[in-house]
Copies of this chain bind each other. A is one copy, B any other.
Amino acid sequence: MLLLSGGVDSTTTGAILREAGYDLYALSFDYGQRHRIELRSCYESAKMLRAAQHKVVEIDLRAFGGSALTDEIDVPKGREIAEDIPITYVPARNTLFLSFALAWAEVLGARDLAIGVNAVDYSGYPDCRPEFIEAFERTANLGTKAGIEGTRFAIHTPLVNMTKTEILREGLRLDVDFGKTHSCYDPAPDGAPCGECDSCVIRARAFAELGIPDPAITAIS
């Protein structure tokens, strides 16, 4: 059960699990994110990863408000990437996403959940840290029929201790086409990345460190 946004991290996570022999059931969300291109990327990624099934669940986080990714708040640009939690934080997002993944996994009989969280270049999100993932795994095993009956859920986070550069390198080894992945928090209407938000900056630095062009940029320019 792969949480798939269509970005670098979730797509690479899928490629790692596929290599490990798992069949992939990909789960994406239409949560009123402003960058609708994320949805297009998740379909492309699911196809690239040859997922056995792909579901897109609609959840209306805008009803609650509270984030630059769902509200009409300006995404910060050109700032130093700091250790504090940015305005692009979406309240309880990974808790919600993992809860849906858990529900679907239990119905399918799947016990392995995967999420592309990363605690190195993680841009300050609390719900990308290993302590959070461990706490959710415990919750999953206490709050489900499958969990308390003894077939335990495991949450896989193969990228958690990797830098973005290491993630790209691993993805390239596994033939991920990063030209089809999307990272920008505030793309232009045609899908072109802004190049200035945290996510664009982290991605650009990683491609620069590898000394190769970003195929998503090349595809557009």
Contacts and interface: CB of A to CB of B under 8 A. Distances in A.
Given A126-B147, A143-B127, A91 B103 contact: yes
Nearest to A106: B91
A133 to B, nearest CB: 9
Interface in A67-125: 85, 89, 91-96, 99-100, 102-104, 106-107
Which residue of A93, A136, A147 has the most chain B CB atoms within 10 A of its CB atom? A136
Nearest to A107: B66
A148 interface: yes
Interface residues of A, number: 42
Interface stretch (A33-41, A55-63, A188-196): A55-63
Interface in A137-174: 138-140, 142-145, 147-149
Contacts of A50: none
A135 interface: yes
A65 interface: yes
B92 A96 contact: no
Q: Is the interface of A mostly helix, strand, loop or mixed?
A: helix
A148 B55 CA distance: 31
A135 B129 contact: no
Contacts of A63: 55, 57
A131 interface: yes
Nearest to A101: B92
The 10 closest A-B pairs by CB, nearest first: A66-B107, A92-B103, A91-B106, A127-B143, A135-B139, A132-B142, A132-B143, A92-B102, A99-B99, A96-B99
Interface of A: 55, 57-61, 63-66, 85, 89, 91-96, 99-100, 102-104, 106-107, 126-127, 129, 131-132, 135-136, 138-140, 142-145, 147-149
30 contacts: A57-B59, A64-B104, A64-B107, A65-B107, A66-B103, A66-B106, A66-B107, A85-B145, A85-B148, A92-B102, A92-B143, A92-B144, A94-B143, A95-B99, A96-B96, A96-B103, A99-B99, A126-B142, A126-B143, A126-B144, A126-B147, A127-B143, A127-B144, A129-B142, A131-B142, A135-B135, A135-B142, A135-B143, A136-B139, A139-B139
